[in-house]
C-alpha cells in the first residue's frame, strides 16, 4: 500500500449479530499475522463489553465510536484504515453515508448486503467518485453471494482449462443446507417489501435479473427463475432457492465486469434439489408454495406487522452458537457448452451459512482486499467478489473459512482424455 494508514481494516458494526461472530473469528488462531484492526460501533459501552467477552487476546484491540449518520465520525473512521468491513444493515437504511465517504476518501470497502435495489442505487450515485478516488467497493461478501459467484468462477476457470472457452450455461443447485434465520436478514427483507410497496418503478426493477449490471452491458439472454421442475442433469426435482434473486444478479454483473466475459448469451439460475420420484416432486411443490406464501405475507402490511412483532426474530437475534456449529451448506454447479461438454463442481461450507460461515467469508474478503488485490490491476469502482478476488481468496476460504471448491466431473466429448468422475 502506498498510503500510510493506522489500520489494515476496521469492522464497522462489531456489536451486531454477525459483527460479534466476525470479531470472535478475527481474534482466533488462524488469522494472518500482523493484521491491524479495530472494532467500531455506535455504543462505547457495548464495544467495551464485547472486547471483554472476547478475552485476553482482544485486550489491545482499539474501539472506535461512530454512528451510521454521524458524518464527522465516519470521515475520521474511514481516514484511518485501508478497508472498512460493514455489518450494519439493512444497508438501504443505514449504509448510504459510509459508502459515500469511502468513495470520496479512496477507502476500500466490503459488506454482506443482499439488497439489490440498494446496490443499484449506490452504484449510480457513487461509482464515478470511487473510480476517481481509487476506492474498491465490494458488496455481497457473505453467503449471498460468495459461494455462488466464486463457485461459478471456479467452474468457468476449469472450463477454460479443459474446453478452451467458458461454459455458456451454468446452474447452481442446493443439495443440502442447515442454518437459522437472523433478525437482521429479516429486517432487510421487510424493508425491501416496504420500499417496493411505495414504488412501482422499484417493483419493475425487481423483475429485471440484469438490474445491477453496468449501463450498456448489452446482455439479452432470457434468465430463468426456478419454481418447480425436474432437473435431468441432477436426476432430481428442483424447487426455489431463497437467495437466488440476489445471487443471479451478482453472477450476471460479474459476467459484465470480466474481460473477456463468460459469454454474451450466458445464463445462470439457482434452485433447491428435493429428490427424485413422487416424493421429490411433492417436496419441490411444497417448497414453492411455502416460499410464495411467505412472500405474499411479507407484502401485506398487517400480516408483516404481526409476524415481526410476535413470530420473527428481531435485529440482533439469530441462531445460537450450537446451531451455527451444526450448520452447513452443500452447493452443486453444472456448466455446459453447445458442444456437449459439461462440468460439475461442489462448493461446501462447515458452519451455519448465513452467520457462522458468512462471518468467515466476510473477514477473509476484507483481508484479501487489503493484502492481495493490487490497486493497479483493480482500480476504484464497484466490483463483485468473482470479478476482483483471485486465487488467494479461494486459498484463504479453504484454509481459514471451512469452505471447499471441488471438481466432481469434467466431460469433454471432443477430447481423447475425457475425464468423468461420479457425482456423490
Distances (CA, A) of 209 to 172, 187, 222, 269, 288: 16, 23, 9, 10, 20
pLDDT at 424: 56
Nearest partner of 252 among 260, 239, 261, 243, judged by Cα: 261
pLDDT at 69: 98
- Report pLDDT digits (tens) over 181-204: 656 666 777 777 777 777 788 788
Is residue 246 over pLDDT 50?
Answer: yes
pLDDT at 306: 73
Q: Which position has the grid cell 447452481?
A: 172
The CATH class, in words, for 7-143+356-393 is alpha beta
- Give whichever of 114-118, 217-221, 403-407 has the largest mean pLDDT: 403-407
Q: Give phi and psi for 403, each to the nearest 5.
A: -105, 155
- Report pLDDT digits (tens) over 80-98: 999 999 999 899 999 999 9
Count, in order, helices (H) and strands (E) of the chain: 16, 14
Is residue 308 over pLDDT 90?
Answer: no
Is residue 1 over pLDDT 50?
Answer: no
pLDDT at 387: 98
Is residue 280 over pLDDT 90?
Answer: yes
Is residue 422 over pLDDT 60?
Answer: no
Structural domain boundaries in the chain: 7-143+356-393, 146-351+403-411
pLDDT at 179: 82
Distances (CA, A) of 4 to 10, 81, 107, 124, 179: 15, 9, 12, 30, 41
Q: What's the start-to-end Cα distance of the chain, in Å?
A: 44
Q: Which residue has the higher pLDDT, 31 or 226?
A: 226
- Report pLDDT digits (tens) over 323-332: 888 899 999 9
- Report pLDDT digits (tens) over 249-264: 999 999 999 999 999 9
Report how far residue 36's alpha carbon sits from residue 47's, in angstroms, rounded to the nearest whole number. 17
pLDDT at 228: 97
DSSP 58: G
Q: Which position has the grid cell 454512528?
A: 67
Mean per-residue pLDDT over the chain, rounded: 91
Amino acid at each position: 500500500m502506498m498510503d500510510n494508514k493506522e489500520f489494515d481494516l476496521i469492522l464497522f458494526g462489531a456489536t451486531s449479530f454477525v459483527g460479534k461472530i466476525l470479531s470472535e473469528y478475527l481474534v482466533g488462531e488462524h488469522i494472518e499475522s500482523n493484521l491491524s484492526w479495530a472494532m467500531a460501533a455506535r455504543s462505547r459501552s457495548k464495544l467495551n463489553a464485547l472486547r471483554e467477552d472476547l478475552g485476553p487476546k482482544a485486550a489491545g484491540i482499539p474501539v472506535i465510536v461512530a454512528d451510521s449518520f454521524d458524518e464527522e465520525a465516519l470521515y475520521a473512521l474511514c481516514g484511518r484504515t485501508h478497508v472498512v468491513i460493514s455489518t450494519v444493515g439493512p444497508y438501504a437504511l443505514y449504509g448510504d453515508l459510509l459508502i459515500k465517504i469511502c468513495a470520496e476518501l479512496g477507502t476500500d470497502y466490503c459488506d454482506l448486503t443482499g439488497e439489490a435495489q440498494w446496490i443499484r442505487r449506490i452504484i449510480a450515485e457513487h461509482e464515478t467518485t470511487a473510480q476517481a478516488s481509487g476506492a474498491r467497493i465490494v458488496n455481497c461478501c457473505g453467503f449471498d453471494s460468495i459461494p455462488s459467484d466464486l463457485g461459478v468462477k471456479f467452474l468457468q476457470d476449469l472450463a477454460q482449462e479443459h474446453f478452451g472457452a467458458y461454459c455458456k450455461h451454468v446452474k447452481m443447485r442446493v443439495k443440502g443446507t442447515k442454518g437459522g434465520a437472523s433478525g437482521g436478514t429479516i429486517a432487510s427483507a421487510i424493508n425491501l417489501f416496504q420500499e417496493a410497496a411505495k414504488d412501482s418503478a422499484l417493483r419493475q426493477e425487481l423483475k429485471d435479473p440484469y438490474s445491477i449490471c453496468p449501463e450498456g452491458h448489452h446482455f439479452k439472454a432470457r434468465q430463468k427463475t426456478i419454481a418447480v421442475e425436474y432437473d435431468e442433469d441432477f436426476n432430481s426435482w428442483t424447487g426455489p432457492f431463497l437467495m437466488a434473486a440476489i445471487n443471479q444478479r451478482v453472477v450476471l454483473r460479474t459476467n459484465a465486469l470480466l474481460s473477456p466475459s463468460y459469454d454474451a448469451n450466458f445464463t445462470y439460475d439457482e434452485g433447491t434439489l428435493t429428490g427424485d420420484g413422487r416424493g421429490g416432486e411433492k417436496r419441490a411443490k411444497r417448497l414453492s408454495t411455502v416460499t410464495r406464501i411467505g412472500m405474499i405475507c411479507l407484502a401485506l402490511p398487517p400480516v408483516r406487522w404481526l409476524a415481526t412483532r410476535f413470530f420473527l426474530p428481531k435485529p440482533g437475534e439469530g441462531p445460537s452458537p450450537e446451531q451455527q456449529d451444526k450448520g452447513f451448506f452443500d452447493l452443486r454447479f453444472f456448466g455446459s457448452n453447445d458442444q456437449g461438454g459439461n462440468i460439475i463442481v461442489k462448493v461446501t461450507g462447515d458452519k451455519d451459512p448465513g452467520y457462522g460461515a458468512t462471518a468467515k467469508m466476510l473477514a477473509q474478503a476484507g483481508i484479501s482486499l487489503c493484502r492481495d488485490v493490487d490497486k493497479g490491476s483493480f482500480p476504484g469502482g464497484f466490483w463483485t467478489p468473482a470479478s476482483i478476488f483471485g486465487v488467494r481468496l479461494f486459498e484463504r476460504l479453504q484454509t481459514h473459512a471451512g469452505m471447499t471448491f471441488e471438481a466432481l466431473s469434467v466431460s469433454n466429448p471432443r477430447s481423447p482424455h475425457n475425464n468423468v468422475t461420479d457425482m456423490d
